[in-house]
Structure 1
Amino acid sequence: MKKYICTLLLLAFAITTYAQVENTMKTFDPSFAHTVYFWFKNPDNEADRARFEKSLQQFLDNSKFAKTDFIGKPPKASRDVVDGSFTYSLIVTFESAAAQEGYQKEEPHLLFIEECKDLWEKVIVYDSQGIAQ
Structure 2
Amino acid sequence: MKTKIVTLLLVGVLASGCVQIKNDMSNNFDHTFAHVVYFWFKSPDSQVDRATFEASLTKFLNNSQYAKTKFIGKPPKATRDVVDDSFTYSLILSFESAEDQVAYQTEAPHLVFIEECEDLWEKVIVYDSEGIVQ
Name the TM-score class by shorter chain.
Answer: 0.7 to 0.9
The one-letter code of the counterpart of 2:51 is A
| Residues 20-76 of structure 1, C-alpha deviations (whole Å, 9 max, x = no match) | xxx945310000000000000000000000000000000000000001111000000
Matches within 5 A, 1:1-133: 24=24, 26-132=27-133
Q: In structure 1, what is the Cα distance between the partners aligned to 2:133 and 2:120?
A: 38
Q: Deviations over 1:94-133 (max 9, x none)?
A: 0000000010010000000000000000000000000036
Q: Distance in 2 between matches of 1:71 and 1:132?
A: 24
- Stretches of structure 2 lacking an aligned partner (at least 5 in a row): 1-22
TM-score by length of 1: 0.81
Contact 2:31–2:133 (Cα < 8 Å) also in 1:
no
Larger radius of gyration: 1
Q: CA RMSD in A?
A: 1.3
Structure 1 counterpart of 2:76, one-letter code: P
* Structure 1, 97-106 or 25-34: larger mean CA deviation: 25-34
2: CA distance between counterparts of 1:132 and 1:70? 21
Q: Secondary structure at the residue paired with 2:48? A: helix
Q: What are the ranges of 5 or more consecutive residues in structure 1 without an aligned counterpart?
A: 1-22
TM, length-normalised to structure 2: 0.80
Q: The residue matched to 1:80 in structure 2 has which SS?
A: coil
Rounded to whole Å, the distance in 1 between the matches of 2:41 and 2:127 is 18
* Structure 2 letter corresponding to 1:47: V
- The structure that is helix-richer by fraction is 1
| Number of residue pairs the alignment of both structures matches | 111
Residue identity (%) = 71
